[in-house]
Chain A
Amino acid sequence: MSATHGTASPEAPELSGDAVATHCPYCALQCAQTLTRTPGARLPLEVAGRDFPTNRGGLCQKGWTSAEVLRASDRLTTPLIRTADGGFREAQWDEALTLVSSRVESLQAENGRDTVAVFGGGGLTNEKAYALGKFARIVLRTPFIDYNGRFCMSSAAAASNRAFGMDRGLGFPLEDLGGADAVLILGSNMGVTMPPFVQHLAGARERGGLVVVDPRETVTARLTHGDRGIHLAPVPGTDMVVLLALTHVVLAEGLADQAYLRERTTGLDAVRRSVAQWWPERAEAVCGIPADELRRTARLLAAASPSRGGRGAYVLTGRGMEQMSQGTACVSAAINLALTLGLVGRHGSGFGPVTGQGNGQGGREHGQKSDQLPGYRMITDPAAREHVAQVWGVNPDVIPGPGVPAVKLLDSLGREGGPRALFVHGSNVVVSAPNADAVVESLKRLDLLVVSDLVPSETAMLADVILPVTQWAEEEGTMTNLEGRIIRRRKAVDAPGQARSELWILGELARRLGVLGGFPDDPRAVFDEMARASAGGVADYAGIDYDRLDAGEQIHWPCPDARHPGTPRVFLDSFATPDGRARMVAVDHHAPADDVRADAPIHLVTGRVLQHYQSGAQTRRVDELNDAQPAPFVEMHPLLADRLGLSEGQDAILTTARGVAVAAVRVTESIRPDTVFMPFHWAGAGSANRLTNDVTDPISGMPEFKVTAVAIAPALSLDPTIPEEVSAP
């Protein structure tokens, strides 16, 4: 047990013999937890919050109840193989793995190596994510790997990379927020998605400087009440217009940080010209926010910024504005505002996207992305290929070129020339991907679907082979949280039955597919190799190892060598661009791809509730969470409900260009009357992603989850158009 010795520190606290220090299984805040073993009890351990700079001891209901998932009643404990009658039968590991490897071999012999694809997840540990990317590239030797982080951080990553030459998520410790006079939050509802985060907003709230941009009056938006700040509720899909108008006001009123712009940025002139056309009165008619409110907000942010004598300001973005077909541009607009105010790369101010998935940061750094190798290296860069190939002990030519992003990958499955086999790890695409009905069709076209999961998720139920894996308190590893801080996940209990780590599974499959060695099942060994592979890359972990982490060091990457303390705050001296300056990229607004129209005149936005995480595969198996949030719903304003003839609790039928869903109505004044909201955690008739648009951002490949046009009507009982549940054949 690694956490029981050494000096007391957040990452290596003094704990009694039966206690283990780890972090929550869910979101990117990665709240610190203490797990205490409870032999003989219904659950194998007890969870408590642990003091840590990010969560300060806090946990939300998901975290408190996370032990329930260890003993989910339908937890997968043995490999399952689909039978001729469409059911599953239990199998031994050897049989299941040999079946998988022989099917892969024959499909590849028939159709070429590209016929196998891999879909990863942002919840996998760094070690698993790294091993999965390596497995795809040198065992399967397919270019086709991507992951659900494409649905999460890709727009923010693309915009950060093009502006700063690097994407480190927040780029500063979360605690820094507390000292700022203003925090601008766009499209994130952390009051619900990562509640302990809210503690870091206390300083800005005290000084009246919390600004929340969200079409809904969310829990987070309500934190602005009582003169704590400003809530702007734009028309869905127009966050970009808000940002362009704010930047317009900053420049027009002479509030910009001219010295910073001169010394640390390029591209101001083009940005100045692009925002010249977004004066507040014009923006008002597009985004629905009064011009003077936009001015007031811009002045508040400017007054907080260091060049105007303020204590600092932060601009934070979330999925609400990133999951758009203009998501990358939208984040660029946020970055431009932050740069105009002189916030980025400055102690006490900054810009950052708020990462969502547990290892959304690390998951995007180590080779799960279709175009990247470990260390956030581009797969097309010959030097990067050379370096990684050397670590992997292969010829660089063995490593395939870039694949395709997630939505395109899923769409291509089973089509002419597309992959015929798919491995899914840590993802439940049937619920979490856009245009979910089409995703089900894609998976059904496959000759071989292999899903590794904890529980029989909706995606697993479509598989030919299901492999049971370990989770959270059953495994060792590392995660990289939303601040780019590398943290340790530690084992407290054994996994039930035959469940095994993906590291072991990948090694066994590699061996069966003729690659001997290179896939150890010891996470520490995988981490050490990953650190070497990342050396010299953008996300450089070379100086990090388990010993340093277990000794209690707080390390944020980049950390190029063993004596390097890590980099809590990035860009303080210069940006990671060739000339060391941040690049401002001029962008303009366009309407959503599937915009409101006469026969679909309402905006549908999707999001989350506190009690559930992502596709709900874990949280829907926790009674306490289900009791609090049992079923899908559609939130609407009383005026809209009145017009549609709907009332509280009644079922509404929602129709978009892609699909139909049914959900119970919740009437609330906290949403615009031109907009409805659905959480996306459920499968079946109420699955929000049957409705969402799979059109993608041209740069990031991010789908437009966050806004589409919908028609709504009361659902009649026995209505034949109500879709069937997605279920296993």
Chain B
Amino acid sequence: MKVLVIGNGMVGSRFVDELVRRDPDVRVTVLGKETHEPYNRVLLSSVVAGKTAPDSLAMATADSDRVDVLAGVAATHIDRAARTVTDSRGQRHSYDRLVFATGSQARIPSIQGIATDRGLIPGVSVLKDLDDAEGIVAAIPKARRAVVLGAGVLGLEVATGLASRGLAVTLVHHSDRLMERQLGDAASRIATGSLTRLGVTVITQTSVAHARDRRGVLSAVTLTDGTELLTDMLVMCAGTIPEAALARGAGLPCERGILVGADLASPADSSVFAIGDCAQPPEGGTGLVAQGWDQASRLVDQWTADAVADRAAQPSEQVGADLTNVVRVKAMGLDVVTMGLSGKFDHGERDLRAVRMSDPAIGRFVEVVVSHGLLVGATVVGDKQCASELSAMYTRMLPVPSDPAHLIIRPLASAARPAATSVADMGDDHTVCQCNSVPKGRIVAAVEGGCGSVEDVSRATRAGTGCGDCRSLVGDIIRSCAAAQEANDAKVPALAGSMEG
């Protein structure tokens, strides 16, 4: 089988790698517009924040002579009748199956003055590829102020990343709340508080109207409400647009992205597929790489018959739920995680149990949504432990406690340990030496029987002869016995004294 993949990004390359591993006969040609090897785009904001070295972004690629990757070569035309794709060099490739993994492009809002014929003016950028990230990083040393447009996940990551590098950052957002697709009002308010503490100024319900430059370089932006902000940098994080032009040109049905069914095939052509950001599956595209990777695996499963039985047992197939939509902001000091039902949804729906805790004073907000004993949604701001446990529970579809409130009060891990019990509080049956199962009572008896040192007690009871960790505790017990004895001894004359008096 000859497979042609258009796009050599995170999803396309993963798909090809899995496919050649699982199908020993397949031959694959990959047309990749970028000259870079596939790299981890999700971490671009970490590069901007200075937390990730750009050279650690390269992803694994298929290691097979059955794969031909043409880097820097774009697909330009598709002839579905002939099953051929023409590339930017004019070469034609035939295929049995065609897979679009063309990803998406950054949406550039219409803002006056941000661009000339040569493109965006210096100081203005998006963050979609490695060149964008490196451009921003290069500009940081000379910049004092930055404006970030858009408070989605990427906008929050860029804003906090730049703030952590010492820039005065203003985050401008069109909606009345941050991450409006994922967060409700209360959660957004609490997240805003965290941002403020990190030194980010948040301005909502407005946008950037135009940009001003000084000698061709960005110097200020004016918001739609007329406010003018001096700035050295404008990073536009205003969402993405699926890259569907080529598919559209080939007569494939497209809306926002390339329409595909649950089988990831185009309804108009069963030999054409789309995965990742460019695709628009029935449940909708989330723009998350987890969804794209899941689609890549599913498509490979679908094409390799032996896997079908395995897959049937997978939880995600059992209920048809999308377990990949965990949205996680990667930012130091700002912990926002959502999954499934979150933000504004119909809380009145019958089968849902939603429990919410809002704790603005310490910047914490947790809401969990449970249905039929499973977690179907959660919003967590400012509680890392809770967020990580809920995400694992959600993605693995683990049953929730009888009362969902327990998910909020203390999720999976046990509560903080109580302080070590003092010797006085220990019962006689409290095991002091785990290695030799020696209870406190037996140690007390040994001391009362004349053992005056830890060594004596060890000889008599074996306590402290394993890992040795309880030796100090044995010492405490000996001292407390001695103190009790002294008090006892002291009592007699004291009593006698009082009688005398």
Is A611 on the interface with B (CB-CB < 8 A)? yes
Is A284 on the interface with B (CB-CB < 8 A)? yes
A285-B392, A672-B413 are known; give 16 further A-B pairs, CB within 8 A: A64-B436, A195-B466, A270-B60, A279-B52, A281-B330, A288-B392, A288-B393, A290-B388, A291-B330, A292-B332, A293-B384, A293-B388, A596-B398, A597-B313, A639-B406, A643-B401
Q: Are B465 and A277 in contact, CB atoms less than 8 angstroms apart?
A: no
Closest Cβ–Cβ distance, residue A233 to chain B (whole Å):
6
Q: Nearest B residue to A625 by beta-carbon distance?
A: B437
Is B61 on the interface with A (CB-CB < 8 A)? yes
Instruction: Tell which of A57, A273, A601 touches B399, judged by Cβ atoms closer than 8 Å.
Output: A601
Q: Are B469 and A292 in contact, CB atoms less than 8 angstroms apart?
A: no
Interface pick from A247-255, A532-540, A560-568, A687-695: A247-255
Q: Are A586 and B52 in contact, CB atoms less than 8 angstroms apart?
A: no
Given A60-B436, A195-B467; A289-B59 close (CB under 8 Å): no
Q: Are B397 and A601 in contact, CB atoms less than 8 angstroms apart?
A: yes
Is A227 on the interface with B (CB-CB < 8 A)? no
Q: Are A611 and B437 in contact, CB atoms less than 8 angstroms apart?
A: yes
Q: Are A285 and B328 in contact, CB atoms less than 8 angstroms apart?
A: yes
Closest Cβ–Cβ distance, residue B294 to chain A (whole Å):
12
Chain B, residues 209-251, CB within 8 Å of chain A (1/0): the string is 0000000000000000000000000000000000000000000
Q: Nearest A residue to B324 by beta-carbon distance?
A: A285
Is B358 on the interface with A (CB-CB < 8 A)? no
Interface pick from B35-43, B118-126, B174-182, B273-281: B35-43
Given A197-B467, A276-B57, A643-B399; A233-B46 close (CB under 8 Å): no
Q: Nearest B residue to A64 by beta-carbon distance?
A: B462
Is A96 on the interface with B (CB-CB < 8 A)? no
The distance in angstroms between the C-alpha atoms of A196 and B433, with both chains bound, is 12
Instruction: Tell which of A199, A235, A284, A628 touches B467, judged by Cβ atoms closer than 8 Å.
Output: A199
Residues of chain A within 8 A of B53, CB atoms compared? 251-254
Closest Cβ–Cβ distance, residue A191 to chain B (whole Å):
6
Residues of chain A within 8 A of B473, CB atoms compared? none
Q: Nearest B residue to A628 by beta-carbon distance?
A: B437
Chain A, residues 658-680, CB within 8 Å of chain B (1/0): the string is 00000000000110111000000
Residues of chain B within 8 A of A610, CB atoms compared? 434-435, 437
Q: Nearest B residue to A674 by beta-carbon distance?
A: B398
Is B482 on the interface with A (CB-CB < 8 A)? no
Given A272-B58, A292-B384, A610-B434; A252-B402 close (CB under 8 Å): no
Q: Are B39 and A276 in contact, CB atoms less than 8 angstroms apart?
A: yes
Q: Are A272 and B56 in contact, CB atoms less than 8 angstroms apart?
A: yes
Is A598 on the interface with B (CB-CB < 8 A)? yes
Q: Are A58 and B468 in contact, CB atoms less than 8 angstroms apart?
A: yes
Q: Are B46 and A252 in contact, CB atoms less than 8 angstroms apart?
A: yes
The distance in angstroms between the C-alpha atoms of A253 and B42, with both chains bound, is 16
Q: Are B436 and A288 in contact, CB atoms less than 8 angstroms apart?
A: no
The distance in angstroms between the C-alpha atoms of A639 and B404, with both chains bound, is 10
Chain B, residues 360-392, CB within 8 Å of chain A (1/0): the string is 000000000000000000000000110111011
Closest Cβ–Cβ distance, residue A36 to chain B (whole Å):
14
Is B347 on the interface with A (CB-CB < 8 A)? no
Contacting B at CB under 8 A, from A207-264, are: 217, 219, 223, 225-226, 233, 235, 248, 251-254
Instruction: Tell which of B58, B330, B394, B468 touches A276, judged by Cβ atoms closer than 8 Å.
Output: B58
Given A60-B436, A276-B58, A286-B392; A252-B415 close (CB under 8 Å): no
A-B residue pairs in contact (CB < 8 Å), sample of 25:
A56-B468, A60-B436, A60-B467, A198-B467, A235-B392, A252-B52, A273-B59, A276-B40, A277-B14, A279-B46, A279-B330, A282-B290, A285-B290, A285-B388, A285-B395, A286-B395, A288-B391, A595-B315, A596-B315, A596-B396, A597-B318, A598-B397, A601-B397, A628-B437, A643-B402
Closest Cβ–Cβ distance, residue B388 to chain A (whole Å):
4
The distance in angstroms between the C-alpha atoms of A277 and B38, with both chains bound, is 11
Residues of chain A within 8 A of B413, CB atoms compared? 233, 672
Q: Nearest A residue to B434 by beta-carbon distance?
A: A219
Residues of chain A within 8 A of B393, CB atoms compared? 288, 674
Q: Nearest B residue to A201 by beta-carbon distance?
A: B467
Residue numbers of A with Cβ under 8 A of B are 49, 56-61, 64, 191-192, 195-199, 217, 219, 223, 225-226, 233, 235, 248, 251-254, 270, 272-274, 276-277, 279, 281-282, 284-293, 586, 595-598, 601-602, 610-611, 624, 628, 637, 639-640, 642-643, 669-670, 672-674
The distance in angstroms between the C-alpha atoms of A282 and B46, with both chains bound, is 13
Residues of chain A within 8 A of B400, CB atoms compared? 643
Residues of chain B within 8 A of A58, CB atoms compared? 435, 465-468
Chain B, residues 395-437, CB within 8 Å of chain A (1/0): the string is 1111111100010000011110100100000000000001111
B53, B391, B417, B469: residue with the most chain A Cβ atoms closer than 10 Å: B469
Q: Are B436 and A277 in contact, CB atoms less than 8 angstroms apart?
A: no
The distance in angstroms between the C-alpha atoms of A131 and B391, with both chains bound, is 53
Is B326 on the interface with A (CB-CB < 8 A)? yes
The distance in angstroms between the C-alpha atoms of A287 and B406, with both chains bound, is 20
Given A49-B465, A253-B51, A639-B406; A276-B59 close (CB under 8 Å): yes
The distance in angstroms between the C-alpha atoms of A233 and B413, with both chains bound, is 8
Q: Are A281 and B328 in contact, CB atoms less than 8 angstroms apart?
A: yes
Closest Cβ–Cβ distance, residue B474 to chain A (whole Å):
14
Instruction: Tell which of A253, A285, A601, A640 touches B52, judged by Cβ atoms closer than 8 Å.
Output: A253
Contacting A at CB under 8 A, from B75-134, are: none
The distance in angstroms between the C-alpha atoms of A670 and B58, with both chains bound, is 39
Closest Cβ–Cβ distance, residue A287 to chain B (whole Å):
7
Residues of chain A within 8 A of B406, CB atoms compared? 639
Q: Are B318 and A598 in contact, CB atoms less than 8 angstroms apart?
A: yes
Given A195-B466, A252-B52; A637-B388 close (CB under 8 Å): no
Residues of chain B within 8 A of A198, CB atoms compared? 466-469
Instruction: Tell which of B328, B402, B436 touches A284, judged by Cβ atoms closer than 8 Å.
Output: B328
Q: Are A291 and B43 in contact, CB atoms less than 8 angstroms apart?
A: no
Q: Are A61 and B391 in contact, CB atoms less than 8 angstroms apart?
A: no
Q: Are A191 and B40 in contact, CB atoms less than 8 angstroms apart?
A: no
The distance in angstroms between the C-alpha atoms of A479 and B330, with both chains bound, is 51
The distance in angstroms between the C-alpha atoms of A586 and B61, with both chains bound, is 12
The distance in angstroms between the C-alpha atoms of A252 and B420, with both chains bound, is 39
Given A64-B436, A281-B330; A674-B61 close (CB under 8 Å): no
Residues of chain A within 8 A of B14, CB atoms compared? 277
Given A198-B467, A611-B437; A288-B388 close (CB under 8 Å): yes
Instruction: Tell which of A59, A282, A288 touches B389, judged by Cβ atoms closer than 8 Å.
Output: A288
Closest Cβ–Cβ distance, residue A450 to chain B (whole Å):
37
A254, A598, A670: residue with the most chain B Cβ atoms closer than 10 Å: A598
Residues of chain A within 8 A of B398, CB atoms compared? 596, 601-602, 674
The distance in angstroms between the C-alpha atoms of A98 and B328, with both chains bound, is 71
The distance in angstroms between the C-alpha atoms of A573 and B133, with both chains bound, is 42
The distance in angstroms between the C-alpha atoms of A551 and B396, with both chains bound, is 58
The distance in angstroms between the C-alpha atoms of A48 and B320, with both chains bound, is 62
Residues of chain A within 8 A of B389, CB atoms compared? 288
Closest Cβ–Cβ distance, residue B115 to chain A (whole Å):
32
Q: Nearest A residue to B333 by beta-carbon distance?
A: A292
Q: Are B417 and A225 in contact, CB atoms less than 8 angstroms apart?
A: yes
B46, B330, B437: residue with the most chain A Cβ atoms closer than 10 Å: B437
Residues of chain A within 8 A of B385, CB atoms compared? 290
Q: Nearest B residue to A642 by beta-carbon distance?
A: B402
Instruction: Tell which of A196, A233, A270, A286 touches B466, judged by Cβ atoms closer than 8 Å.
Output: A196
The distance in angstroms between the C-alpha atoms of A639 and B399, with both chains bound, is 11
The distance in angstroms between the C-alpha atoms of A219 and B4, with both chains bound, is 55
8 pairs of A and B residues whose beta carbons are closest in the complex = A288-B392, A198-B467, A669-B414, A195-B466, A285-B391, A290-B384, A195-B467, A195-B435
Q: Are B318 and A637 in contact, CB atoms less than 8 angstroms apart?
A: no
The distance in angstroms between the C-alpha atoms of A23 and B467, with both chains bound, is 17
Q: Nearest B residue to A56 by beta-carbon distance?
A: B468
Residues of chain B within 8 A of A196, CB atoms compared? 435, 466-468
The distance in angstroms between the C-alpha atoms of A431 and B78, with both chains bound, is 63
Residues of chain B within 8 A of A219, CB atoms compared? 434
Residues of chain A within 8 A of B330, CB atoms compared? 279, 281, 291
Residues of chain A within 8 A of B397, CB atoms compared? 596, 598, 601
The distance in angstroms between the C-alpha atoms of A628 and B40, with both chains bound, is 53
